[in-house]
Structure 1
């Protein structure tokens, strides 16, 4: 009889290989074929056990306006609350409330079947009332990009997603106030190739900015700013290209850096990839550098310029990058990997309360539930989603596999940017 840790290891392995999202765990083969990166992805998770929640992120590919006011997600990060130092675990919270108690307007239903007959895919939260979607034109291939207005319950078409090569798949979609950008690749080919696209947020015809080869084509994370598309590559290094067109350039002194949320990038310390921690943060606009203090036994420490999250042994914690203000998180909140990401004062995290996925509110020290146990859910920039009518079912023979059963009518979507707006003015 396998215990929970055995199940955890099995599901971690499955999540690392299957990058599909709710409504498509059975598409794991196609997802693995077309998505090579180990980071910055929506991961399939199983709420019936403690498993990884991603962002994808990235880490997330949340966009920033270069030299412009930060977008809502950036503002949420920047206002993360400083927390008092404590050597003791945070108090066990009261029974979790449902996330609709924080802000019912942050939770909405979106149909899975697109107007074009394909399937909608959730791509990002753009604002407290807007969700970026793609619509498939064929299996796993984005054909259109749209903005879904949650109060109006309607989708507005921005334009088509071109497919310039055989075997082409569009990848991460990101946005700022003016533009939506994405990159694509041909993952079934042996060549190292990618391209970059941009379309106005008001709609129009997509423009291919550049075809990339070599190191610059090994894209791991993408941002769009007011003037540039910016990305980093797996081995380290941050590049940018003007939205107006031109040649890509590698940003000076970025060889060991990975892009997070523009203008911030990070360097990684030593260790296994799944346990490596941020060692240094760099503002690529100002040159400001912040050294991250990591204590013995810490793993998967991820930092914004204001706050870090990580784990040590069986305990999760938050701290400031300099190591001050360290505080253990409540027993209900468990981090199972390095991919968890802060969304302002909210930490979507693995939960232990009745096996349901949780969001921990750092400011209020309260735990909120979302979804149902046994439901697969996805996470991308500023957004969580799942199919209430689908269930993750694990079967074991020589190898244990998980498959999604049922559902297919609508997603339940939590807009984390709308939850940010639930905080009272101070």
Structure 2
């Protein structure tokens, strides 16, 4: 068996080669002996493709916190049932009303609406490298006109966090990403922003022990500050976020924690045993689908006010993951979506799986599978037409951004970037 360092190096190197990797076999084979490092590297895969079965097959290559994939192809129909009843406990805009049981025909991959035609204002082109030759890794959209980026001198090396303005075509540096001396196996695992702050986590080994460091910086620009260093079981960080005043994170075994940006000790958020942070303030009771492919999320919790909403799970549903309004999962070998209360069910035959290791609906509206994006508001299927074989995503939160090369190969000079935050509500 490979050592942890060899495995980590292999996955990091794969980011520049983008081969097809069948990782789920490795997950199952090593399940009882999985180390923290393997779990975090697998959790970093942000894209998954599964075709027509309930078996989860991860295909793609990894970057520091994301992945680039060989995409699956969806089939032809979407069926919706029942009458939607908007939740009184959440505020996201619901999809269109359906007053009777209906059947809609979704455009198949070969005939679907090209994303450039369906959402032209959400598709932009940007350089894949900065002036120093550092590779950009888009993380997520900051609203409709800005994209948060990582700039890496090489895989596994500390770099910078930047913002790209899609209107002006200009970049600005948010902060340099520090690297604490004496660390080995450095890996920037996750990043998030609330529009005012940017937070991220790194993992590394120090004196043979795995540690996690959680960092933050003001999005307007400034020096990065180390919020907390974690060791032992506490270092098994899966996701980070921010509530505007603190860095917030959850661990692979469950539990949500908080550390104020100002002075103060890290503390466990009350009543979060077994919960996994989705995106502040939302958390659920099911973790990484790569690790627990058949486990269903049974509730979603608003950590800001303590509201708990149960998820209606029906027969043969597997891998259910929910945001504040919508859920996705697998049923009978196909992907499906529904409201939390079990209404508004839709199936997409041919989609065996939606999204990646954390397949929550993006903006509680979009489901991503392979090289297509399904819009729960309109029923449209947007097709991503790409010259190469991969699509990238670099966030363990439900990121609004997908990107791919403008030319074939794994090291293009430019990216196409789809920012779903720029899609109008009714389009």
TM over 0.5: yes
SS of 2:153's equivalent in the other structure is strand
SS of 2:233's equivalent in the other structure is helix
Offset at 1:53? Answer: 8.7
Q: Is 1:311 matched with 2:304?
A: no
Match of 1:164 among 176, 180, 183: 180
SS of 1:78's equivalent in the other structure is coil
Correspondence for 2:315: 296
Question: 1 CA distance for matches of 2:262 and 2:49?
Answer: 39
* Structural mapping, 1:197-346, within 5 Å: 197-268=215-286, 273-329=292-348, 331=349, 333-335=351-353, 339-344=358-363, 346=365
* Structural mapping, 1:43-122, within 5 Å: 43=47, 78-81=92-95, 84=98, 90-93=104-107, 95-122=111-138
Offset at 1:35? Answer: 7.5
Distance of aligned partners of 1:412 and 1:140 in 2 relative to their CA distance in 1, 3 Å threshold: farther
Question: 2 CA distance for matches of 1:108 and 1:172?
Answer: 24
Match of 1:417 among 412, 418, 421: 421
Question: 2 CA distance for matches of 1:27 and 1:135?
Answer: 24
SS of 2:421's equivalent in the other structure is helix
Q: Is the contact between residue 128 and residue 415 of structure 1 (CA under 8 Å) also seen in structure 2?
A: yes
Question: 2 CA distance for matches of 1:58 and 1:283?
Answer: 25
- Aligned positions, number: 368
Correspondence for 2:389: 375
Offset at 1:317? Answer: 1.9
- Cα deviation 1:56-101 (Å, max 9, x = unaligned): 9999xxxxxxxxxxxxxxxx98224266487776434373111122
Q: Is the contact between residue 184 and residue 196 of structure 1 (CA under 8 Å) also seen in structure 2?
A: yes
Q: Is the contact between residue 276 and residue 299 of structure 1 (CA under 8 Å) also seen in structure 2?
A: yes
Question: 1 CA distance for matches of 2:138 and 2:363?
Answer: 21
Distance of aligned partners of 1:363 and 1:103 in 2 relative to their CA distance in 1, 3 Å threshold: same
Question: 2 CA distance for matches of 1:276 and 1:113?
Answer: 39
Q: Is the contact between residue 326 and residue 365 of structure 2 (CA under 8 Å) also seen in structure 1?
A: no
Question: 2 CA distance for matches of 1:367 and 1:252?
Answer: 40
Question: 1 CA distance for matches of 2:364 and 2:275?
Answer: 25
SS of 1:268's equivalent in the other structure is coil
- TM-score scaled by length of structure 1: 0.75
SS of 1:135's equivalent in the other structure is strand
- Larger displacement relative to structure 2 (238-247 or 38-47): 38-47
Question: 2 CA distance for matches of 1:314 and 1:44?
Answer: 15
Question: 2 CA distance for matches of 1:116 and 1:77?
Answer: 43
Distance of aligned partners of 1:111 and 1:92 in 2 relative to their CA distance in 1, 3 Å threshold: closer
Q: Is 1:25 matched with 2:38?
A: no
Provide the alpha-carbon RMSD of the alignment.
3.7
Offset at 1:124? Answer: 1.6
